[in-house]
Amino acid sequence: MLFSITSAIESVQYNLADLHTHSTCSDGLRSPTQAVEEAVAAGVRVLSLTDHDTVDGIDEAMAAGKEQGIDVVPGTELSAHVNDRELHLLAYFVDHRSQRLAVHLSKLRERRHERGAAIVERLNQLGVQISLDDVLSRTDGGPMGRPHIAAAIVASGAAMNKEEAFVRFIGDRRPADVPKPRSPAAEVIGLVHELGGVAVLAHPGMVVSEPVIQQLVEVGLDGVEVYHPAHQPPQIEHYLDVAERFGLLTSGGSDSHGDQGGVAIGDYGIGVEAVDALSTRAATYA
């Protein structure tokens, strides 16, 4: 049985598995090793590093986990689309050293670079003077994303903080935004299964309606992220019900990026029995 909503949200000691975290390999502010150290300090027993469209930090995190006595589940947060809607899929237990995955992620990285360059060009046309090199210098070698562009905007003085940068310039449908190339969810889920992993819909309460979940189930979705900082108790109850009705597994995590004063690793999570269920499902695809 999963932990109650109250314990899942309020009691760090019961958040034994945090299955949604980020590092400097994408848009996080701590290294994979530091993420593991934070998890250990928070009493987390199982951690998944789920950087955006990359698995570059997995080996480092797994090595740190082995040294510090915490299980690290290989994962990544993949961009996908249903119709015109972008959503994120958490892929757990994938073969992160697969050449097939490397090719897919390389294509995504190229698309991110092209999109980032186009956004920078639009910003320059709007009078925001930042350079692509400046943005790239903030990625620590990982995939470029809008948070890196937002940081460059703030450094230029055109916005007070990243939130303002998104609201004024680069958020969805804002003046400098460029739509992300589409990756059909059916193809992404198929790839995850091919790599021996499970596909879990990330933070559905932020972007996804129930009919979209139905469409995802029809193309092989394995689970839904129930416990997430963006989900209030009524939403958690709702997605527990959705999981039961659609026969989906459940997941949970902090979605922590390491921001000072932000959500920390271990603030949100789920019981280790949920990890066992995800692992068992993944074994059917291996």
Same domain for 208 and 252, yes or no, is yes
- 46-49 and 223-227 beta bridge pairing: unpaired
Within 10 Å of residue 30's Cβ, how many Cβ atoms? 19
In a domain, 1, yes or no: no
Q: Identify whether residues 143 and 22 lie together within a single domain.
A: no
Residue 253 inside a domain? The answer is yes
Residue 273 lies in a domain: yes
The string of pLDDT tens digits covering residues 198-244 is 999 999 987 778 999 999 999 999 999 999 999 999 999 999 999 99
Same domain, 130 and 66: no
> Is residue 5 included in any domain, yes or no?
no
Find the CATH number of the domain harbouring 163: 1.10.150.650
State whether 272 and 206 are in the same domain.
Answer: yes
248 and 140 fall within a common domain:
no
175 within some domain: no
Residue 276 has pLDDT above 50, yes or no: yes
Eight-state DSSP code of residue 49: E
- Distances 122 to 139, 174, 180, 267 between C-alpha atoms, Å: 20, 11, 15, 38
User: Which residues lie closer than 8 Å to 159 by C-beta, 6 or more apart?
Assistant: 150, 153, 165, 168, 169
pLDDT band at 153 (very low <50, low <70, confident <90, very high): very high
Q: What percent of the chain has pLDDT over 70?
A: 95
* 85 and 196 together in one domain: yes
What CATH number is attached to the domain comprising 18? 3.20.20.140
Structural domain boundaries, residue 122:
106-170
Residues 87 and 140 in one domain: no
Q: pLDDT value at position 12?
A: 40
Residue 90 burial (10 A CB sphere; 0-12, 13-18, 19+):
buried
Total domain count, the chain: 2
What does pTM read for this prediction?
A: 0.85
Model pLDDT for residues 81-99, shown as the tens digit of each residue = 998 888 999 999 999 999 9
Lowest-confidence range among 114-123, 174-183, 192-201?
174-183
For residues 110 and 212, membership in a common domain is answered with: no
Q: Check whether residue 166 and residue 191 sit in a common domain.
A: no
Whether residue 61 sits in one domain with residue 17: yes
